[in-house]
Structure 1
Amino acid sequence: MNASNMDNSPTTVGGYLAARLEQIGLRQYFAVPGDYNLVLLDEFLTNRNLQMISCCNELNAGYAADGYARATGGPAAAIVTFSVGGLSLLNAIAGAYAEDLPVIAISGGPNTNSEAEYEFLHHTLGDVDYGYQREIFRRVTAEAVMIQHPTEAPRQIDRAIETALVKQKPVYLEIACNIAGATVSSPNPRTFNVRFSSDPTSLDQAVEHAAELLNAAIKPVLVAGVKLRAGGAVPAFQQLADSSGYAVAHMPNSKGFLDEQHPGFIGNYWGPVSSPGCGEIVESADLCLFAGATFTDYTTTGHTALINPQKMIRATSDSVILPTQTYNEVALADFLDGLTAKLKPNDASLAAFKRIQEPAQQPQPNGDDAPLTTRTLFSEIQGLLDEQSAVIAETGDSWFNGMQLDLPSGANFEIQLQYGSIGWSVGATLGYSIGLPERRVVALIGDGSFQLTAQEVSTMIRYETNPIIFLINNGGYTIEVEIHDGPYNTIKNWDYAGLVDVFNANDGNGWGCRVTTEKELSDAIAHAKQHDGLALIEVAIDRDDCSKNLLKWGGQVAKNNGRPPRRN
């Protein structure tokens, strides 16, 4: 990544960091002020090429940075104050770590003299020990550093940024409040590594061995996994799908990576809740190449997916695992590029899918005054999507209904399946809308999740973003109901559509409405499409109206959670 021309005059620690963030592609960052980071924010504001997005709280700022990284395909940054801010940010950074997103978490820190002079400080734990925030962040970042001397700052900043880019994981930078404005050298032009390199010998052997097995297979299948993005391997996978002729599926957390209008696409592989016909083809194949896949209780529906390890090639971010051999230090994109040149076209698995493929069932309208159902809602959402859409599906039933959407070529889709933090989608919608303003975000958010992070709708209005939010009001935490029900899954109802007027105050351009019938929904979507600003459509749905796949998935996950302890 090459630097642009930079001024060689001295700068400050804060100015140096801001310049480096600009160099690696950031145009915005997300911030919540506090007395330990105010000088740092002042230094950032001197960089006219970066825009500060002021968030309502630190957790939402972290979720917004998560969404921004997804939108831009690059790094993102959130700036908070020490302890009360940093520990609020922590959950979002843990999610970014789980989801392989290079979010740079930046915190102001105490004065460098405070610990040596045995000062008790506000916002802290009440002990004279101020390294605890860095120690906590070590568990959820690829690198965590405290910057307490200007001379060391450029080296520490550059190293942390490169770590984030290479590992595609968050990093943590804590800058002492009396260091942020200290003078340092200018950020000289340099190149940052953005991917690790394959060992050539391991790569060649892995490609040869895998190609031999795949070319000998009768009905091989390709399955896209979530690590394709972190490995910079999405284009390579697409090229392999183009050239191989194989049936191609994605796993739920990689939906949108592959063009769903591709002639070889057969749907979503999710074990027993796969797309119709997809699970049967994947599980009956004599050899499957899973590229960047993760096999968790969520992605395998409580570990019920029927994949035989002896019929699987698993290409991870840095290794290739064959039934009888493992090759390490092999970059995913390099491996897929190598296979593209060596695989013989074979459409047997695709032909098998077409023989069992079922025509898509379109729900029939029940009449203008008919109460809304989930099926009707998502049929209308399907009609809303185009090549500029970006769907963000919140944890819950939106996962399962979102999986059934047929994405137009060019449309994007985002889900936080590994970490599954409810409320993530509100901040992520903000960040995605800021990072990729030419796309219109369609956010699918349940009422329970929305209540955790609702404030950030006001930030979307403040910065004139234009997502369409479908707020699905069914009175509680539906996904938890299907895993394990109890009174704790019922929530206090809100006037969700009315919140838009609250957040508009005197100068906002948000629009909200509540719909209960098919005609009201159709009219609301038509209005939202024309509205130049945020649109929130509160959709009243029966509490027990959910996807049948959620029922099946929830039962299997509950069964897996409920296994009794093993006895020796």
Structure 2
Amino acid sequence: MYTVSDYLIDVIKFIGNDHVFGVPGDYNLEFLDHIVDRNDMTWVGNANELNAAYMADGYAKKTGFAALVTTFGVGDLSSDNGLAGSLAENVPVLSIVGAPKTENMDQKLLVHHTFGDGEFEKFTKMHEVMGLKVKDLTAQNTVDDINEIVKYIIKTGKPAYLTLPIDVAKIPVNPSIKESFASFFNRDEEVTEFNNTIAERLVQAINNASHPLVLVGHELKNRQLAHFIEKFVVNNNLLFTDLGLGKCALNESLTQFIGTYSGALTDEPTKQIVDKADLVINFGAKLTDFVTSMFTQSFTEEKIINISNDDFDFFGSHRDLIGDYSFYQVVKAISDKQLKQPLTNTVELNPVSPATPSDKVLTQDFYDKAVINSIKPGQTLVAESGTSFSGLSPFTLPDNVDFSAQPLWASIGYAFPSMIGGQLADNNSRHVLSTGEGSLQLTIQELGTLIKHDLHPIMLVIDNNGYTVERLIHGMKKSYNDVAKLDYTLMPQAFGAKQDQFMIFDVNTESELVDALDKAQSTEDKFVLIQVHMDQEDAPSSLTKMGEMIQNKNN
């Protein structure tokens, strides 16, 4: 019998997902039967719900959609920090929560995984207050409600929340309704006159500018819309930059790329070009604290046209343009526009200096150069918040390399499970993760998931006795910034890896690091873990300056 469970899973599959993340619980077990009984869908199965949410986030950044399944109350709330990060950074994740039988909820029974007060709706209300679109499925209009929530995710690129009671999951559905999926969940939109007018006015503004500059961001990237703007930029030879949030939205090997911008701490010549710009067209970027060096960007509202996921403005206003705005439609419309004449911009970026190794003890600055020099075209570099993000995000990356981080929500521990999610979504792009041991200790349980699915990323663990970014902000030598000392080279075996599944390196010097990276990159059929020892007070120079800025802002 074809049921609501089958329909929901078919929707997830139609949108392009082959994996579902989460943790089993008695309120979702029968729904999970419908996943594992299929031969075209993989139940990933996570160590905990928070990690599952992080993993779904990383998966959705690659595919444009991900599904997460938890159980009512305990599992649901455990995933919320990850779901909040998806909301903050506009990542399209569907949270499916297995709920008690409708009859039990109607009778307000004091069942497990609740507060024992008979009030079941408060969990949905929590998520509504967070800002998520929510829906409690019932026996009435079930298919329409599923369609509504999924269409919302497709249209906005934002996460959403769905409760699925045990009995509702079993309701029969006419399987012929699947024939309408193409019309129900069509990602494409016809450009309306109103949204085309916005695009034309934007082109007019560029034509009138002396030094226009395009800024691309995470909203464009996470909604899989960057190809529209890349076409516009290349055809018109427009200079563009990105931020650490949304880095590599466009291919950074394009000749129009001027480097990654980070406010006052930006390297030259990138900073000079941005400072000189008399028009900045912002496609889906948010000027947040960490990616602008505490709001030190040189351009003001009077120079910016914002085309964002939720709204638009021309130099701080759009009072004369009133209509049904669509981010998708505007960037689609702009892709085919031509300026009066292509610009004649040329940029010479400073190449990454080679990391010539010696037997010196490793420093953070050498580490960053060595990692960047090791990255191959087509790979994905994942950076944990703090040391790794600050040290690696300023560099221009090779052809078709992707970059993933979470600098706005900045939840430490995010990067490792997110990397696994991204690797599952795109196994053709080998993922390289740089993380610190403080962050990794929060989510290392998912090493078992990585091994179970026989994935082959490269993971560098910076071992420097604690939370470097927190030390730089406050408490350099305070014990609350210390973490437990672990031997990470023992971890693959401890989490079930066989000897032929992994390689491990324990490095202290420049030469040892470069040798380990060379061997890691040439060994594509194994998971590689590199434990990297550095002094606890060593940090990228940019992070040291940022720490001072954050401390001043906090005081």
Counterpart Cα distance in 2 of 1:480 and 1:313: 35
* Deviation, structure 1 residue 282: 0.8
Deviations 1:105-142 (A, max 9, x none): 11111122223334211221121111222112223464
Alignment of 1:439 onto 2:413? no
Q: 2:165 aligns with which of 176, 181, 202?
A: 176
Residue aligning to 1:545: 538
Alignment of 1:234 onto 2:230? no
The 3 A distance-change label for structure 1 pair 292 and 116 is closer
Counterpart Cα distance in 2 of 1:81 and 1:428: 21
The 3 A distance-change label for structure 1 pair 330 and 13 is closer
Letter in 2 for 1:207: A
Counterpart Cα distance in 2 of 1:231 and 1:425: 20
C-alpha contact 2:244 2:394 (8 A) present in aligned 1: no
The 3 A distance-change label for structure 1 pair 252 and 144 is same
Residue aligning to 1:512: 504
Counterpart Cα distance in 2 of 1:380 and 1:232: 30
Alignment of 1:162 onto 2:151? yes
Task: Point out the more displaced range, 323-332 or 426-435.
Answer: 323-332
Counterpart Cα distance in 2 of 1:513 and 1:361: 24
Counterpart Cα distance in 2 of 1:44 and 1:360: 46
Counterpart Cα distance in 1 of 2:293 and 2:409: 15
* Deviation, structure 1 residue 376: 2.3
C-alpha contact 1:423 1:451 (8 A) present in aligned 2: yes
Counterpart Cα distance in 2 of 1:337 and 1:176: 39
Q: 2:206 aligns with which of 214, 217, 227?
A: 214
Letter in 2 for 1:344: K
Q: 1:88 aligns with which of 78, 85, 101?
A: 78
**1:148-159 mapped onto 2 (5 Å cutoff):** 148-149=138-139, 151-159=140-148
Counterpart Cα distance in 2 of 1:561 and 1:241: 39
The 3 A distance-change label for structure 1 pair 130 and 279 is same
Counterpart Cα distance in 1 of 2:425 and 2:224: 19
The 3 A distance-change label for structure 1 pair 413 and 273 is same
Letter in 2 for 1:43: H
For these two proteins, the number of residue pairs brought into alignment is: 545
Counterpart Cα distance in 2 of 1:185 and 1:271: 55
* Deviation, structure 1 residue 167: 1.3
The 3 A distance-change label for structure 1 pair 29 and 312 is same
Counterpart Cα distance in 1 of 2:554 and 2:185: 41
Counterpart Cα distance in 1 of 2:520 and 2:48: 28
Letter in 1 for 2:37: T
Unpaired runs of 5+ residues, structure 2, are none
C-alpha contact 1:199 1:330 (8 A) present in aligned 2: no
Letter in 2 for 1:144: V
Alignment of 1:331 onto 2:326? yes
Counterpart Cα distance in 2 of 1:506 and 1:295: 45
Deviations 1:488-516 (A, max 9, x none): 21111111121122012668823333211
C-alpha contact 1:15 1:47 (8 A) present in aligned 2: no
Letter in 2 for 1:454: I
Counterpart Cα distance in 2 of 1:299 and 1:196: 31
C-alpha contact 2:352 2:373 (8 A) present in aligned 1: no
Q: 1:484 aligns with which of 451, 469, 474?
A: 474
Deviations 1:54-88 (A, max 9, x none): 1111111111111111122x211111111111000
Deviations 1:523-558 (A, max 9, x none): 322332315222111100111221111122222233
TM-score, with structure 2 as normaliser: 0.92
* Deviation, structure 1 residue 101: 1.5
* Deviation, structure 1 residue 333: 4.8
Task: Point out the more displaced range, 99-108 or 318-327.
Answer: 318-327
Which SS does the other structure have where 1:54 is aligned?
coil
Deviations 1:259-309 (A, max 9, x none): 111112110111012232212211221222122121222232222222122
The 3 A distance-change label for structure 1 pair 344 and 549 is farther
The 3 A distance-change label for structure 1 pair 104 and 324 is closer
**1:131-146 mapped onto 2 (5 Å cutoff):** 131-140=121-130, 142-146=132-136
C-alpha contact 1:246 1:345 (8 A) present in aligned 2: no
C-alpha contact 2:416 2:443 (8 A) present in aligned 1: yes
Identity of aligned residues (%): 28
The 3 A distance-change label for structure 1 pair 281 and 224 is same
Residue aligning to 1:565: none
The 3 A distance-change label for structure 1 pair 404 and 124 is same
The 3 A distance-change label for structure 1 pair 310 and 198 is farther
Residue aligning to 2:306: 314
Residue aligning to 1:417: 407
Q: 2:285 aligns with which of 290, 293, 299?
A: 293
* Deviation, structure 1 residue 341: 2.1
C-alpha contact 1:60 1:427 (8 A) present in aligned 2: yes
C-alpha contact 2:3 2:173 (8 A) present in aligned 1: yes
C-alpha contact 2:245 2:405 (8 A) present in aligned 1: yes
Which SS does the other structure have where 1:78 is aligned?
strand
Q: 1:22 aligns with which of 13, 29, 34?
A: 13
Counterpart Cα distance in 1 of 2:78 and 2:401: 33
Alpha carbon RMSD of aligned pairs, Å?
2.3
Alignment of 1:38 onto 2:29? yes
Alignment of 1:397 onto 2:387? yes
Counterpart Cα distance in 2 of 1:252 and 1:317: 18
Letter in 1 for 2:544: L
Task: Point out the more displaced range, 333-342 or 176-185.
Answer: 333-342
The 3 A distance-change label for structure 1 pair 49 and 422 is same
Task: Point out the more displaced range, 322-331 or 307-316.
Answer: 322-331
C-alpha contact 1:102 1:169 (8 A) present in aligned 2: yes
Counterpart Cα distance in 2 of 1:90 and 1:281: 40
Deviations 1:193-226 (A, max 9, x none): 4558587343343233332322122222222122
C-alpha contact 1:93 1:141 (8 A) present in aligned 2: no
Counterpart Cα distance in 1 of 2:224 and 2:187: 8
C-alpha contact 2:260 2:395 (8 A) present in aligned 1: no
Residue aligning to 1:463: 453
* Deviation, structure 1 residue 230: 4.3
Letter in 2 for 1:475: N
* Deviation, structure 1 residue 483: 2.2
